[in-house]
Structures are given as C-alpha cells and as structure tokens.
Structure 1
Amino acid sequence: MFLDTGNLEEIKKALQFPFFEGVTTNPTILLKENKPRNTHIANIPAKVVFVQAAGLTEEEIWEDVLRIQAIEPAEGTVIGLKIPAHEAGIKVIAKVRANFPNEIILATAIFSSEQGYIAALSGADYLAPYYNRMEVSGLDAAKTIEELRYVLDLQGLEDVKIMGASFKNSRQIMQALASGADTVTISYDLFLQMMNKPLALESIEKFNEHQAALPK
C-alpha cells in the first residue's frame, strides 16, 4: 500500500503503520504544499517516493526525468519515476528502461487495459489505473483491472504490478484489490476511513462504557 500525498504530517502519521511501502506524488498534489518540488521531495522520509515527470512532448518529459534524478533523497529513500502512459510518456518509459535499467517506473494516468499493457511492454514496473476517474466516465474500472491482470500474466509480464489509484471511497479500494490490483495508493483521509467505520466506533464506545461499569 502507498500513500498518495505530499503532506509531511500525513506521511509521518501514516508511516507509523509498517505496511506502507512508500509515497506517490504528482504536480497537483505537490501544488497544495506550495514548495519547490525537488526540495520538498528530498524531505519525504519514505522507503520509495514516486515523482511525476511533467511535459507535453517526449523531450520535455525526458528533461524532467533528468531533473528528478538529480534529487538527493532522505536517507534510506529511493526516488521512483512516475510517467504518464500516453504516446510521449511510453517513449520515455522505454528510454528510461534502456538507459537506466535499475530505475523504478510507475506508469500513470491509465484508463484502459491496452494502455497498461503497452506501458508494461515498454518497461514499467507499476501501472496505475485511475479507478474513480474511470467510473465517473462510464468505464468499468474493475473489469479493466481484471482484464489487465489476466493479460499481464498470460504474456509473461506477471512481475509488473498494478497499483490502483484515484479512489473516491474505501469500497472502490477493495473492489480494485479484488479485481487483481497488487497494491493501491490512497489519500490519508481514505486510509482513516478504512479503519474508522462509524458502526465499529459505536460498538467500541459501547464496550468501553460497559467496561467502566464493571464492578471494581
């Protein structure tokens, strides 16, 4: 599981839970922090921090990849590359894999199984299908993940991991995992929602009341 945020306080709180593998970011997320990207990323204390390469053309995205590689991360942190899975981005994914074979690559902004398949063929380690964005656009997000996982396994690409992303509620997270996603990246608020269910909190409160009422 990954945390989809650039907020240092949220990251520190979430990383108290040992199952978080790292952090994912994008320009929209980082804009909320209102700090220079590379400086801010260098202060994130996670095992892996994915940083998105921006640009409209292959050349622009490649140049941003090189800028991301210049980041000096916190001790014990590895910087991963997030690259959009459109034509220009796919070319960059292949170029990164050819020139920097040890880089961790997350192909992002995936809205179809064929888009994810092409990104995997090009060398991506992770694929990020946008669950809620697909759903609100009338696409079957669960079916897309299921089909993508099936094709990856069938084509000898079983090591490529599907990282579900873009969730509106915790139910979507579980649907993505049930459909074949290997992991997910979620906001801190959704993480809290996964644990703090109103009915559970109500039951726990009642137990505590009864515990307090027991004879001393």
Structure 2
Amino acid sequence: MEFLLDTVNLEKISYYNEHLSLAGVTSNPSILKKDGIKGDLFEHFRKIRMILGSDRQLHVQVTGCSFDEMEADAKRIVTELGNDVYIKVPTNLAGLKTMKSLKKQGLRVTATAIYTEFQAYQALNVGADYLAPYYNRMLNQGIDAAQIIENVAKRIGKEGLESKILAASFHNVDQVNQAIRSGAQAVTVGLTVVEDAFEMPAISKAIADFKTDWEKLYSKDLANL
C-alpha cells in the first residue's frame, strides 16, 4: 500500500518523510492556496523533490480547462520537473482527451476529480497510471465511495491492468482505512488526518503508562542498565 501526503508544506513533508515510509506527495491548486505558496512555484516543487529523493512520486495538477490549455500546462510541468512527474488531469471529456495524448507521449498521468464508477472506467480505458476518487466528497454527494473503489479494483485485477487507485479527499482516518480495505492500492492523506491518527489519547496514555511502570522497576533508562 502506497502512502502519500496531500500537501506542499516543506517543513511537514520533511518531518513525515523522516518518520513514515512515504511514496510521495500530491498537490493541486487548492492545496497550494491553503499552504500559502507564492513566488517560484516550480522551485518549490523542486525543493519537495530534494526532500523526498528521486525515487519518490510527485503529482502536479494542470490548471487549464480546455484540451489545449491542459496540454500546454502538462508541457510546462514536464519541462520544469522532468518526465517522471505525475501530471494530474481532471476526469472530464477534455481531461480524458488530454490523458490519451499524454500517455501517447510516454508521460505519467493521474486522473483526478473522480466521483463516479463510469469516470473511473474511462480513465482506465485511456491508460491513466493512477485514478484518484474523492472519497469524502463522494460520500457528501450520497455516493458509496467504498463500493465504487471495490468495483474498480476488481476490474483492474480482472483485466490485469497496471493502473492503481489513489484514493484522496479524506475527512478522517476511518475513511482512509475503508478505502484501503475496499482495494485502493494507494492513498494520499492531508496533514490534519495524519496528525489526528497519531494524537489519539489512548496512544499517549499507553506510552505514559509504559514509562511509569518502567520507572517503578528501575532508576535508569534501558540503554544505561
């Protein structure tokens, strides 16, 4: 299971890269706005790659709406960041046309803004490397996100496809777990959800209890016994 961070915060990326096994980082314009990124955008992305190393993924989204705009955005992204970057493209008609074109050029593609099973199948048909269903947003629309991920995962397995499901847009840890149980091969998770996962009071209490019980037995740390 691949675990990615949904952020462009350099300090947080560096921190979690030291503590977790990260597969990479995903981004989009909303994340850039949230993290207050200004100045040279591509230099910022290059700093992210320096933190992660060359063997980890970086997903960067196009901002255009038409095929020509998306194609131009993708060309700029590749020129600045290299052919191994994953170009995020929304899964509408213009986006699917763009995905087809990019795959013919040998580029890596992540199909985003997936809300429906039909969208996912079309992204599979054009050869997208990753499919990003928006889990919590799907639930807010009354869509059974877990079932759709399960159905798409079965299709990938049945046809022996190389595409992977990169579930995104989570509100809490349980949604992340549900997506993985349903068959998502990868998840990209925002900082708030990651922080909540490890700030559970029961975890802190268990660690504190271990420390207290140890100190009742010994006056020194284990390393100094």
TM-score when scaled to structure 1?
Answer: 0.91
Residue 109 of structure 1 deviates from its aligned partner by 0.6
Residue 144 of structure 1 deviates from its aligned partner by 0.9
The structure with the largest helix share of the pair is 2
1:138 aligns with 2:142: yes
RMSD over aligned Cα atoms: 1.7
Per-residue Cα deviation, 1:81-136 (whole angstroms, up to 9, x for no partner): 111111100000000011x21x2211111011110111111120000000000111
**Residue identity opposite 1:202 in structure 2:** K
1:97 aligns with 2:97: no
Partner of 1:28: 30
Partner of 1:10: 12
Residue 197 of structure 1 deviates from its aligned partner by 2.1
Change (3 A) 1:215 1:123: closer
For the Cα contact (< 8 Å) 1:132–1:167, is it kept in 2? yes
- How many percent identity over aligned positions? 35
Partner of 2:94: 88
Q: Select which of 170, 186, 190 maps to 1:187.
A: 190
Where structure 1 has 5 or more consecutive residues not aligned to the other structure, the ranges are none
Equivalents in 2 of 1:79, 1:144: separation in Å?
Answer: 27
Partner of 1:206: 209
Q: Which moved more, 1:54-63 or 1:200-209?
A: 200-209
Q: Which residues of 2 match residues 6-155 of structure 1 at below 5 A?
A: 6-17=8-19, 19-31=21-33, 32-35=35-38, 36-45=40-49, 46=52, 47-72=56-81, 78-98=84-104, 100-101=105-106, 103-155=107-159
Residue 17 of structure 1 deviates from its aligned partner by 3.5
**Residue identity opposite 1:164 in structure 2:** A
For the Cα contact (< 8 Å) 1:6–1:30, is it kept in 2? yes
Residue 211 of structure 1 deviates from its aligned partner by 1.7
Equivalents in 2 of 1:125, 1:79: separation in Å?
Answer: 11
Equivalents in 1 of 2:136, 2:89: separation in Å?
Answer: 20
For the Cα contact (< 8 Å) 1:114–1:148, is it kept in 2? no
- The number of aligned residues is 210
Equivalents in 2 of 1:34, 1:195: separation in Å?
Answer: 27
Residue 33 of structure 1 deviates from its aligned partner by 2.8
For the Cα contact (< 8 Å) 2:102–2:108, is it kept in 1? no
**Residue identity opposite 1:34 in structure 2:** I
TM-score when scaled to structure 2?
Answer: 0.88
Q: Secondary structure at the match of 1:127?
A: strand
Moved >4 Å (runs of 4+): none
